[in-house]
Amino acid sequence: MDTAGMTMAQHVARVARDFQQQRTGHAPKSVTVVLSEGTLVVTLHEVLTPAEMALSRTPAGAEQVREFHRNLFDTSVDELRQEIERITGVSVREAAAEVETTTGTIVHVFTSGTMVQVFQLSGGLSAETWNGQIGGGDSDAAGLSLQE
């Protein structure tokens, strides 16, 4: 596979996708990678198998699926961590995974020792909406932007 011309984010997304497929035999439908200061968040969309989704219909089954994926992540994260460090050139201090069984989404978070709160929205926001002004355009309104 030709990886020339891929961005760092695309490399991380591909590694995360391949990591998930190798571990579970099921590839995510898509992967989103977000970097903000010292925190890298990788979201694997629609990654649960049909059997895991069926099991997740009950609270006890959902907890089993969450625990399985957290344990899988914990026991195999070193390889993924090494790949992220190789791609980015920055060491990873901490890593965690969270599973959302209702949507089949798994979020991997790699931090530099900070507290991370992850909120998965039900839909996307346009760049114009996200970077818009607060307060209806008043001259003293603060703009929102992500620092890259």
Domain borders along the chain are 8-122
Q: Between these two residues, 143 and 71, which has the higher pLDDT value?
A: 71
Decide: helix, strand or coil at residue 43. strand
- Compute CA distances 119 → 98, 107, 122, 124, 148, whole Å: 11, 10, 10, 12, 19
**Domain topology for 8-122:** Threonyl-tRNA Synthetase; Chain A, domain 2 (3.30.980)
- Tell me the pTM: 0.75
pLDDT in tens, 23-34: 899 888 889 888
* Distance in angstroms (rounded) separating the CA atoms of residues 13 and 109: 13
Percent of the chain with pLDDT over 90: 28
Query: Poorest-confidence range of 45-54, 118-127, 129-138?
Result: 129-138
| Confidence class for position 63, pLDDT limits 50, 70, 90 | very high
Instruction: Find, among 35, 121, 26, the residue nearest to 69 by Cα.
Output: 26
Quick check: 17 pLDDT over 50?
yes
How confident is the model over 15-24, as a mean pLDDT?
92
Q: Which residue has the tokens 């909120």?
A: 119
| Confidence class for position 14, pLDDT limits 50, 70, 90 | very high
Question: Which pLDDT score is estimated for 124?
Answer: 66
Q: Between these two residues, 91 and 117, which has the higher pLDDT value?
A: 91
* Distance in angstroms (rounded) separating the CA atoms of residues 126 and 109: 23
Residue 40: count of CB within 10 angstroms of its CB = 23
- DSSP letter (8 states) at residue 101: T
Quick check: 59 pLDDT over 90?
yes
